[in-house]
Amino acid sequence: MLPEKKLTGQQIYHGRVVNLCVDTVKKPNGKRASREIVEHSACIAAVALDNQHNVLLVRQFRYPVGKFLLEVPAGGIDAGEEPRDCVRRELQEEIGYLPRKIDRLGGFYSIPGYGTEYLHCYLATDLEPSRLVAEDTHSIEIVRVPVSQIPRLITSGEICDAKSIAALLVFVSGARSENNLT
């Protein structure tokens, strides 16, 4: 298989969080096509596990879908910031804990059909209280969920965003294979 080749590109919107571009590409069969692209920086998604084997989730209102979602803590990686440092910052801002141990679970493109966002997934453990104040986290509710309840929350639709499902399923499948957390 051959990749598509970019012929032209035009940024049609430049925002604080995303940029929107329209590219013209040449397909392997020689035909031209248009690609609409949402440019977004890399992000982290963290499965935060306390000493009682509870996953610390956040419930927050998500305006684009018009409802409260139950999610793993996550956020954008700032320019020049390493993913592990972003995990520390996001956990301090969103759940008020600093992880002493951070292990990589993997990563994935969240919307590869039209977007550039890559999510780095981590397991954060050995949590100690440590609060960073951020302007947009005052309406976040912290929800502690036993690891054993995670599959049910996913299948019931109570956890319904892709990043949380992916990170939690990788974590739960690893925990089961290690046979030490479920």
Alpha helices in the chain (DSSP H): 83-94, 150-155, 162-178
Q: Residue 74 burial by CB count (10 A; 0-12/13-18/19+): exposed, middle or buried? A: buried
Contacts of 156 (CB under 8 A, 6+ apart): none
CA distances, 90 to each of 38, 45, 127 (Å): 23, 9, 13
135 is catalytic: yes
Residue carrying structure tokens 């596990």: 49
Q: Which helix (H) or strand (E) holds 125?
A: strand 118-129
Please compute, for residue 154, the number of CA atoms within 13 A of its CA located in the half-sphere on the CB side. Answer: 17
Helix, strand counts (H, E) of the chain: 3, 10
Which one is catalytic: 36, 39, 81, 135? 135
Q: How far apart are CA 74 and CA 158, in angstroms?
A: 17
Catalytically annotated residues: 135
